[in-house]
Chains A and B, each alone.
Chain A
């Protein structure tokens, strides 16, 4: 008796090979074809660069950026030393010789897998991006004068946003490596690549992050101690295709500014990038118990007040108050919160005015810069998004979080 399972299997196993005649016909067509490369953005590439496509829209870029950023944010607190012979310190030392990287890889998002190609140069600390250029089919992102520019080829428009929102800031930095080494299930295995005979060190680790679980596969060249490959999954067990894959990483002592320059077509209009927040964060932002009342205040005043209170809470390490003003940290344990860079805040030098506005389903959004002196003496400019909302308790606001990355500035 042949059942449905038998039939399904039999159909899946059907095999009818292509004949040599078909091979000849198709191969002839391929040989005759004039496959002219007409990819639209190719002429704008810097010679020698092999730029590919990546993050099609800003929400994809956001995912990418937050993935890397949050990895750092949370992982810092997980103190766990490795007993492996492989010492991450050596990799960190090796990395310090280089100021610039070129990365190719892929981002796996809801619309499929998209190749990624980017160039970045770090600042003097080696942990923050000072400038960078990333190109994709419809999107090119570059950094200039501490602003981030996004050229959308489809819209033929350049969107400008203040600060550095490039997504590579913590990637491959000494800081990231230190973070990886501290993840709780960190494992390092030394082996040999049978294809090349090169010795490799494979590091695996995972973390329960703010936006969900993540696991990592990181490959180091055992000789140079440099990170050469990296894969990130949005689950703890490296299941399924990775969310992000950095397939090739090239290191440079430095690169000229021209490597990061991009010129949109003449006449391309420049416009402000709309300020927005991901829909997934709205439920945490809507909690009526969080934030401060804004009754009787202007938006400027409310931003000043809530950021002033948030920085004060970081300085005094008032964890409950941080959770209350900055509700996206609700999923953070106290230990995780203490690992945030913001706990190193020493003094608030200035809170600026609203530089950019936008809106979400909850209400208006405001982008506000703060200038902060850290305990190590460094002064940084940090952009924060404040969400205004109207609940049963009246008008109020909460801090959504940091926009882009901190910039080292001179006083």
Chain B
């Protein structure tokens, strides 16, 4: 935490090595987070790229009020959410014209993205409605509090807790092979 403060302090004073250090330190965590949310590594990397571009532009006026990791995770979650919305819109428009899109859990890139060991988990995550997936991932992977997730999703904490609980139940069901999602 103290290191984060130092890095932000130097970042605000124009030290590029501070941004580089921040990127190197968090890149894998942020890509993992974005990929788990979007179930698409290419898009996940675009999100992380955009987050850092935005972060770089805030140099000199960036104020850290919590942890840097938490801040960057929230940025990733917001951008992933926006991308998901526009993707849904695109799919909706496309399905009106042509044919149904491939469902998330049939995503061909899952093994490449999550690896063979985690492929099953990737498929299970892909099968969750976005809001539930977001609640589960932000809680378990990003370590965010339900209240913070609620703020991000624009719903009550109870709703987020419900989404989290339903999400976990569906993952459990899927992973135990009881019902196909």
Contact = CB atoms under 8 A, between A and B. Distances in A.
Contacts of B113: 16
B60 A26 contact: no
Interface in B59-79: 59-61, 63-67
Interface stretch (B84-92, B100-108, B147-155, B167-175): B167-175
Contacts of A17: 28, 31
Contact of A18 (B28, B64, B172, B175): B28
Contact of B60 (A3, A16, A25, A38): A38
B45 A22 contact: yes
A15 B30 CA distance: 10
A114 B57 CA distance: 22
Contacts of B121: 7, 10-11, 14
A30 B23 contact: yes
A30 B56 contact: yes
B168 A14 contact: no
B16 A8 contact: no
B19 A30 contact: yes
B141 A12 contact: yes
Interface residues of B, number: 52
Contacts of B63: 137
Contacts of B175: 2, 6-7
Interface stretch (A105-113, A263-271, A379-387): A105-113
A241 B6 contact: no
A38 B176 CA distance: 55
A31 interface: yes
A38 B12 CA distance: 7
Contacts of B57: 33
B158 interface: no
Contacts of A114: 5
A113 B56 CA distance: 22
Interface residues of A, number: 45
A29 B48 CA distance: 12
Contact of B19 (A33, A36, A137): A33
B111 interface: no
A16 B31 contact: yes
A85 interface: no
Contacts of A4: 168, 172
Interface in B26-67: 27-28, 30-32, 35-36, 41, 44-45, 48-49, 52-53, 56-57, 59-61, 63-67
A23 interface: yes
Given A35-B19, A39-B13, A113-B1, A14 B60 contact: no
Interface string B115-143: 00010010001000000000011001100
B120 to A, nearest CB: 9
B98 interface: no
Contacts of B27: 18, 22-23, 26
Contacts of B16: 30-31, 33, 35
A16 B44 contact: yes
Nearest to B136: A11
B9 interface: yes
Interface of A: 1-4, 6-8, 10-19, 21-23, 25-27, 29-31, 33, 35-39, 42, 52-53, 106, 111-115, 137, 241, 245, 247
Given A13-B118, A16-B113, A18-B27, 4 more contacts: A7-B121, A11-B136, A26-B48, A31-B16
